[in-house]
């Protein structure tokens, strides 16, 4: 049975991410008591409304019937409870009916729901994403008509980017938008992989659609952003007739099944009326504004799935007895709980460092967003935004890759039982396999990080990150139990800066394809380094919490040990990846195509 | 669509494993033409009878109805074709109706069936395993009654080891065997995880059951081996009434669904008559004799699943167009096949090295078994058997772990499409997740290798392995294009020998639990080293095949490039694992239990 680990979340939120310090300015209504109360509410709804149907959602996936998507009723019931608690409006301004909470707190709230049931939470993720875009770029009238009901959770949202022939390569989308005399547009085209593209839970669905206005710019410069509602919205805010958007079919997925994934046809049988958001040709820019938060949410989802698996496998390891210690000579001794076996401990520690290291990073990144909002200094705000941009591919990709590994380990702890559908660990592993794929594949984030965010930036953001890491290294150096880790991390940071500088310097001499040939390894390497930093921060927070001289609790000792595990078992893997990536090794590129 | 790669198999079998050299003595009936003909037959049956229902088997898993296991009919039809071709008797002596083929050839034959459909092949695997045990240890009468129909494929077999409370820890089994006056026994107990435990395809099922005779030795010394047929077998070989074995239920698995996995009750409603094989108290020894081959077959299955995924993802990568080269400046250029993208090539190369490196190792290990059989020198035979034993945990575990990774990469190449059930890559990934669990978990093989086969053996077998590796290193050193790899491998071998010697020397000073704390890392490390050796052997074979001076074919160039990939991208990972394992780092052991 999956359990929600509030002790861990509270430690991360209050001791590591020190969310209290953010409770000022627009967040002045919050303090620790209020935040704890919100987490209690979230925990209750997650446990009572989200968790119980997680298995059923997987077993009874959405069905396509008469052009409709039929879901199990528990999904709608859970989302109704979520809506009643006001959580759809978590981070939105009071002006639009939101709770105006710090992104850090919202991440903690989401984490509880994601751990309980990622499939049902998917609808929230998408609705928030759409609302974020409208909040930033829509007109006042569009906000009244579409943003307010999204914030309320009466309408749900989607993001319609990909098409059957253009998954990652958005420059190639073919959906068109034809301007009408009344200022609206008619959309025509087909969209693929649209999560939440059809359901009958919400009163309406607000599709945010990327399309090209004929005669506009080439490639991505020709893309604009449109609002296309499932039902027309009247001036009084009520819903009218259906718009010309058809559900063409459902995708049948390996996991993550509670979230419908659809193929949508726009404007094929009836006209699809849509409204342009912002300026023509800026669609991708607007959408990607929101993508940072969507990507951070993907990382958080991956982390939550691993947390769920960790909780199941940890309990199993404590309860299941099997075998004896290699030190026991007497075969007549009773079998021991498997948590006593070295390799089971390794599998548990590998999960613990992935889950808690990722969670720390995601709350840290959310904290940067909050700090940028709080900052009154334009330059500081810009630095915080740049750092958020820089960390986003890591915050999305490291959890997606290594929390999936964690789910693999959770199955292994249970052995044959983990391979059956009687335990949720096999489902969690299937659910998590999506995360390295959606919202930009693992490979694409590697190119984004090493190409756009390092090579094209002369390594400026990387140095900014290094400064922050080294500030924590300095704090740790003076603490005897952490000095070993401080030194190791400091060395990795120096090596990474030096090797990256060399690559940046070689920029003009080598083809970009070669510079980026091992970008994914660079992404994983820098991810290891950043997560090591997060472990050092957790160890520092545990040290502070334990206070001077007292015996730390086993929980806080566990933080120190997990930090040691990460530094000894994971961080040493940076060297070979860094070497290949920064040497721009061309082994993959020079393979003859018929040699595969 | 999964394709069977005969070119690769032929290269591995005839050029790398040089199976021709084994065609003497008991295998004198074989030559290259005959072997090619056998592979052609296997390929045809695999493609026409096994492959077409692989998806259906997954979708329509076995059902439990009125105490029976109901399977889709295609499984029985495929196995009938397999039986008619005589493949159930592949390696068995002519005396028992077998084809008496080299294990190396049999492995190649199996590989084709495993690639096409692992679930249906599961029944063969188990039947062969049971027949192997009987062939080695059963009495003449038992062989006539049970072995001959297993070899023929009229009866299928199972291996009943685990029980609900004792999965890996066989010393703790509770099934009892009570001697009867006629020399037979009555079994009583419950067995868990019994693959193929019930089906109605074969005329009878020969269960090989581990049980304890009351009053026998303690722990594993109390375990004996019994034959318990589903139907009693009369003196004329025909089947009589049902024996007291009940199907209590089916396990519902994440994948590998075509092979029923059952819970069996022995002797609960009616007496279960059974026959002891060999001596009392030697059950585990007999069963483990057969386990080497079962474990090698698991490694081969893992490899075949990865080969299937590689074939699907390679074809997709050649056909699917998306995006442009990072070097292309013109967004108006048409999109390129994704095989041109660096990271897709990395994902394909990672699959290629896992599949083909594993296949080379499995055929090499099969070759050791064949050579031991051919050898007339007792000492040489004993050395070959020891080396087979030593390599078995690696031949089982490396493919199980890293071919599963390969299946993960296959999904990634397909992106969102790979996550749907429209392509087989998601199924293959689920199927393969079993392999690090059954026939000894990954962790248990680590302990077997580092504990029993290195520490308890003073590293003797490791040195024997090193000699063989260094002989190939010597051959490669004189070939300019391979000298780089020869040097790298030689260095890894030296480091591994030296570090292992230190650990062996420290044996008496440290608790065994600490010596074995990182045994899994040692297993993975030595696996990388052995697979690197297999890549060097493939590169040597490609060099020889290309001949002097001529331009090698793209296929043979691909072998060189894949070798380079393995040496640059995988082999460097040995260092950190070796360091932790041989330093007996106690991070996992010293974690406080309440710190998790």
Q: Within a domain: residue B358?
A: no
What pLDDT is attached to residue A219?
85
Most A-contacting residue of B591, B592, B593 (CB-CB within 10 A), to test interface: B591
Most A-contacting residue of B326, B354, B553 (CB-CB within 10 A), to test interface: B326
Of residues A230, A356, A210, the one with CA closest to residue A280: A210
Query: How many other CB atoms sit within 10 Å of the CB of residue B490?
Result: 17
What pLDDT is attached to residue A332?
83
Q: Per residue in B411-465, pLDDT tens? A: 999 999 999 999 999 999 999 999 999 999 999 999 999 999 999 999 999 999 9
Average pLDDT rounded to a whole number, residues B309-320: 98
Query: Which residue from A167, A341, A420 is facing B251, i.e. has the nearest CB?
Result: A420
| Cβ atoms of A415 and B437 closer than 8 Å | yes
Three-state secondary-structure class, residue A117: coil
Q: Per residue in B47-65, pLDDT tens? A: 999 999 999 999 999 999 9
Angle between helix axes A283-319 and A118-137 (nearest 10 degrees) is 150
Residues of chain A numbered 286-315 and touching chain B (CB < 8 Å):
314
Distance CA B48, CA B51 (A): 6
Distance CA B38, CA B20 (A): 14
What is the end-to-end Cα distance of chain A in Å, rounded?
44
Which residue in chain B has the smallest CA separation from A356? B596
Distance CA B432, CA B301 (A): 8
Q: Is A219 on the interface with B (CB under 8 A)?
A: yes
Q: Within a domain: residue A531?
A: yes
Query: How many other CB atoms sit within 10 Å of the CB of residue A540?
Result: 21
Q: Is A420 on the interface with B (CB under 8 A)?
A: yes
CA distance A336 to chain B (A): 11
> Residue A179 — very low, low, confident or very high, per pLDDT cuts 50/70/90?
very high
CA distance A238 to chain B (A): 36
Range of the domain at A567: 444-589
Q: Per residue in A264-294, pLDDT tens? A: 999 999 999 999 999 999 999 999 887 888 9
What pLDDT is attached to residue B219?
85
Distance CA B98, CA B134 (A): 14
CA distance B439 to chain A (A): 10
Distance CA A263, CA A458 (A): 41
- Residue A551, Cβ density class (10 Å: 0-12 exposed, 13-18 middle, ≥19 buried): exposed
Residues of chain A positioned with their CB less than 8 A from the CB of B341: 443
Query: Which residue from A220, A447, A590 is facing B561, i.e. has the nearest CB?
Result: A590
What pLDDT is attached to residue A394?
98
Residues of chain B positioned with their CB less than 8 A from the CB of A564: 587
Query: How many other CB atoms sit within 10 Å of the CB of residue A405?
Result: 17
| Cβ atoms of B301 and A403 closer than 8 Å | no
Q: What separation in angstroms does the CA of B105 have from each of B39, B109, B373, B533?
A: 9, 6, 14, 21
Range list of β-strands (E), A269-398: 272-277
Of residues B99, B521, B59, B93, the one with CA closest to residue A347: B521
| Cβ atoms of B151 and B110 closer than 8 Å | no
Residues of chain B numbered 347-376 and touching chain A (CB < 8 Å):
347-349, 352
Tokens of A321: 């007895």
Average pLDDT rounded to a whole number, residues B154-170: 94
Cα B8 from chain centroid (whole Å): 19
CA distance A433 to chain B (A): 8
Q: Count how many domains chain A has.
A: 1
Chain mean pLDDT for chain B: 96
Q: Within a domain: residue B529?
A: yes
| Main-chain phi, psi angles of B558, to 5 degrees | -60, -35
Query: Which residue from A324, A561, A579 is facing B591, i.e. has the nearest CB?
Result: A561
The pairing of strands A231-233 and B239-242 is unpaired
Q: Is B333 on the interface with A (CB under 8 A)?
A: no
Cα B57 from chain centroid (whole Å): 21
Residues of chain B positioned with their CB less than 8 A from the CB of A340: 593
| Main-chain phi, psi angles of A273, to 5 degrees | -80, 135
Cα A225 from chain centroid (whole Å): 23
Q: Is A319 on the interface with B (CB under 8 A)?
A: no
Which residue in chain A has the smallest CA separation from B164? A417
Radius of gyration of chain B (CA): 24
Query: How many other CB atoms sit within 10 Å of the CB of residue B499?
Result: 18
| Cβ atoms of A297 and A410 closer than 8 Å | no
Q: Vertex B202, ends B200 and B203: CA angle to 5°?
A: 95
Residues of chain A positioned with their CB less than 8 A from the CB of B442: 343, 412
Query: How many other CB atoms sit within 10 Å of the CB of residue B215?
Result: 7
| Cβ atoms of A314 and B596 closer than 8 Å | yes
Average pLDDT rounded to a whole number, residues A11-33: 98
Q: What is the 3-state secondary structure (H, E, C) of B506-546?
A: CHHHCCHHHHCCCHHHHHHHHHHHHHHHHHHHHHHHHHHHH
Q: Within a domain: residue B481?
A: yes
Q: Within a domain: residue B552?
A: yes
Tokens of B87: 């493949």
Average pLDDT rounded to a whole number, residues B274-297: 92
Helix %, strand %, coil % of chain A (to 5):
60, 10, 25
Tokens of A17: 């991410």
Three-state secondary-structure class, residue B107: helix
Q: Per residue in B480-515, pLDDT tens? A: 999 999 999 999 999 999 999 999 999 999 999 999
| Residue in A163, A439, A492, A543 annotated catalytic | A439
Query: Which residue from A408, A573, A591 is facing B558, i.e. has the nearest CB?
Result: A591
CA distance A98 to chain B (A): 33
Chain mean pLDDT for chain A: 96
Q: Which helix (H) or strand (E) holds A419?
A: helix A416-419
- Polymer length of chain A: 596
| Cβ atoms of B273 and B228 closer than 8 Å | yes
Average pLDDT rounded to a whole number, residues A174-193: 98
* Residue whose pair of structure tokens reads 């006593």 in the numeric block: A340
Query: How many other CB atoms sit within 10 Å of the CB of residue A288?
Result: 17
| Cβ atoms of B257 and B232 closer than 8 Å | no
Question: What is the residue-wise DSSP string for A546-568?
Answer: H-SSSPPPHHHHHHHHHHHHIII
Question: What is the residue-wise DSSP string for B483-508?
Answer: HHHHHHHHHHHHHHHHHHHHHHHTGG
- Residue B298, Cβ density class (10 Å: 0-12 exposed, 13-18 middle, ≥19 buried): buried
| Cβ atoms of B159 and B128 closer than 8 Å | no
Reported for B266-269, long-range contacts at CB under 8 A and 24+ positions apart, including other chains, are B266/B175, B266/B187, B266/B188, B266/B189, B266/B190, B266/B191, B266/B209, B266/B228, B267/B186, B267/B187, B267/B188, B267/B189, B268/B188, B268/B244, B269/B244
Tokens of A220: 């991505």
Q: Is B180 on the interface with A (CB under 8 A)?
A: no
Q: Do A568 and B562 touch (CB under 8 A)?
A: no
Q: What is the 3-state secondary structure (H, E, C) of B20-33?
A: HHHCCHHHCCCCHH
Q: Within a domain: residue A497?
A: yes
Q: Which residues are paired to A177 by β-bridges? A: A187
Which residue in chain B has the smallest CA separation from A319? B165
Q: Per residue in B82-96, pLDDT tens? A: 999 999 999 999 999
CA distance A571 to chain B (A): 10
| Cβ atoms of A388 and A361 closer than 8 Å | no
Q: Per residue in B341-388, pLDDT tens? A: 999 999 999 999 999 999 999 999 999 999 999 999 999 999 999 999
Which residue in chain A has the smallest CA separation from B256? A419
Average pLDDT rounded to a whole number, residues A74-84: 98
* Residue whose pair of structure tokens reads 């086969």 in the numeric block: B453
Most A-contacting residue of B443, B488, B579 (CB-CB within 10 A), to test interface: B443
Q: Which helix (H) or strand (E) holds B212?
A: strand B204-212
| Cβ atoms of B355 and B299 closer than 8 Å | no
Average pLDDT rounded to a whole number, residues A372-388: 97
Of residues B489, B575, B594, B587, the one with CA closest to residue B538: B489
- Examine the pLDDT at A476 and tell me if it is beyond 90: yes
Q: Within a domain: residue A403?
A: no
B373: left (phi over 0), alpha (psi -120 to 50) or beta: alpha
Residues of chain A numbered 425-484 and touching chain B (CB < 8 Å):
426, 429-430, 433-434, 436-438, 441-443, 446-447, 451
Residues of chain B positioned with their CB less than 8 A from the CB of A436: 412
CA distance B58 to chain A (A): 12
Residues of chain B positioned with their CB less than 8 A from the CB of A162: 416
CA distance B438 to chain A (A): 7
Those residues whose C-beta lies under 8 Å from the C-beta of residue A21, and which sit 6 or more positions away, are none
Residues of chain A positioned with their CB less than 8 A from the CB of B512: 326-327
Q: Is A66 on the interface with B (CB under 8 A)?
A: no
Q: Is A65 a catalytic residue?
A: no
Q: Within a domain: residue A508?
A: yes
The pairing of strands A155-160 and A204-212 is parallel
Of residues A296, A297, A364, A368, the one with CA closest to residue A113: A297
> Residue B547 — very low, low, confident or very high, per pLDDT cuts 50/70/90?
confident
> Residue B585 — very low, low, confident or very high, per pLDDT cuts 50/70/90?
very high
Range list of β-strands (E), A213-314: 223-229, 231-233, 239-242, 245-250, 261-266, 272-277
Range list of β-strands (E), A32-183: 63-65, 68-70, 155-160, 176-179
- Polymer length of chain B: 596
- Examine the pLDDT at A172 and tell me if it is beyond 80: yes
Q: Is B554 on the interface with A (CB under 8 A)?
A: yes
Query: Could you tell me where the DSSP H helices lie in A336-377?
Result: 342-374
Three-state secondary-structure class, residue B248: strand
Q: Do B339 and A596 touch (CB under 8 A)?
A: yes
- Examine the pLDDT at A557 and tell me if it is beyond 80: yes
Give the dihedral of Cα atoms B18, B21, B22, B27; nearest 10 deg.
120
Cα B369 from chain centroid (whole Å): 14
Which residue in chain A has the smallest CA separation from B590? A561
């Amino acid at each position: 049975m999956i359990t929600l680990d509030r002790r861990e979340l509270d430690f991360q939120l209050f001791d590591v991410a020190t969310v209290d310090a953010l409770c000022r300015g627009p967040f002045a209504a919050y303090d620790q008591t209020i935040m704890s109360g919100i987490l209690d509410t979230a925990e209750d709804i997650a446990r009572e409304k989200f968790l119980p149907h997680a298995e059923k959602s997987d077993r009874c996936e959405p069905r396509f019937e008469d052009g409709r998507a039929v879901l199990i009723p528990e999904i709608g019931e859970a989302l109704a409870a979520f809506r009643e608690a006001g959580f759809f409006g978590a981070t939105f301004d009071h002006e639009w009916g939101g709770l105006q909470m710090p992104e850090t707190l919202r991440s903690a709230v989401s984490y509880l729901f994601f751990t309980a049931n990622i499939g049902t939470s998917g609808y929230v993720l998408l609705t928030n994403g759409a609302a974020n875009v409208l909040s930033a770029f829509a007109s006042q009238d569009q906000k009244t008509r579409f943003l307010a009901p999204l914030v309320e959770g009466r309408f749900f949202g989607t993001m319609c980017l990909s098409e059957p022939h253009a998954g990652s390569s958005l420059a190639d989308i073919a959906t068109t938008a034809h301007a009408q005399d009344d200022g609206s547009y008619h959309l025509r085209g087909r969209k693929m992989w649209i999560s939440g593209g059809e359901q009958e839970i919400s009163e309406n669905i607000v599709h945010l659609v990327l399309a090209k206005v004929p005669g506009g710019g080439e490639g991505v410069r020709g893309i604009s952003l449109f609002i296309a509602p499932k039902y027309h919205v009247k001036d009084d805010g009520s819903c009218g007739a259906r718009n010309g958007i058809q559900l063409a079919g459902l995708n049948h997925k390996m996991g993550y099944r509670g979230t419908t994934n659809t193929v949508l046809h726009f404007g094929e049988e009836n006209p699809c009326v849509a409204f342009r958001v912002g300026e023509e040709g800026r669609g991708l820019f607007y959408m990607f504004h929101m993508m940072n938060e969507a990507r951070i949410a993907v990382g958080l989802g991956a982390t939550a799935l691993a947390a769920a698996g960790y909780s199941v496998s940890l309990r199993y390891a404590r309860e299941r007895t099997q075998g004896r210690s290699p030190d026991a000579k007497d075969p007549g001794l009773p079998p021991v709980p498997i948590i006593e076996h070295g390799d089971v401990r390794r599998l548990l520690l590998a999960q613990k460092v992935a889950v808690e290291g990722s969670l720390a990073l995601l709350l840290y990144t959310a904290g940067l967003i909050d700090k940028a909002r709080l900052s009154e200094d334009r330059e500081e705000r810009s630095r915080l935004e740049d750092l958020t941009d820089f960390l986003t591919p890591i915050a999305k990709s490291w959890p997606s890759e290594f929390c999936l590994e964690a789910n693999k380990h959770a199955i292994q702890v249970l052995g044959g039982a983990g391979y059956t559908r009687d335990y949720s660990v096999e489902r969690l592993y299937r659910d998590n396999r999506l995360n390295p794929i959606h919202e930009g594949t693992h490979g694409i984030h590697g190119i984004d990080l090493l190409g756009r965010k390092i090579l094209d930036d002369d390594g400026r953001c990387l140095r900014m990150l290094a400064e922050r890491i080294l500030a924590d290294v300095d704090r740790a150096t003076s603490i005897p139990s952490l000095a070993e880790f401080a030194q190791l991390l400091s060395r990795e940071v120096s090596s990474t800066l030096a090797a990256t500088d060399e690559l940046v310097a070689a920029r003009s001499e080598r083809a970009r394809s070669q510079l980026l040939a091992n970008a994914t390894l660079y992404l994983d390497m820098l991810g290891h380094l950043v997560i090591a930093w997060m472990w050092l921060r957790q160890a520092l927070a545990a040290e502070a919490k334990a206070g001077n001289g007292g015996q730390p609790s086993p929980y806080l000792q566990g933080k120190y040990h997990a930090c040691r595990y990460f530094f000894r078992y994971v961080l040493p893997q940076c060297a070979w990846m860094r070497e290949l990536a920064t040497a721009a090794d061309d082994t993959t590129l020079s393979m003859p195509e018929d040699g595969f």
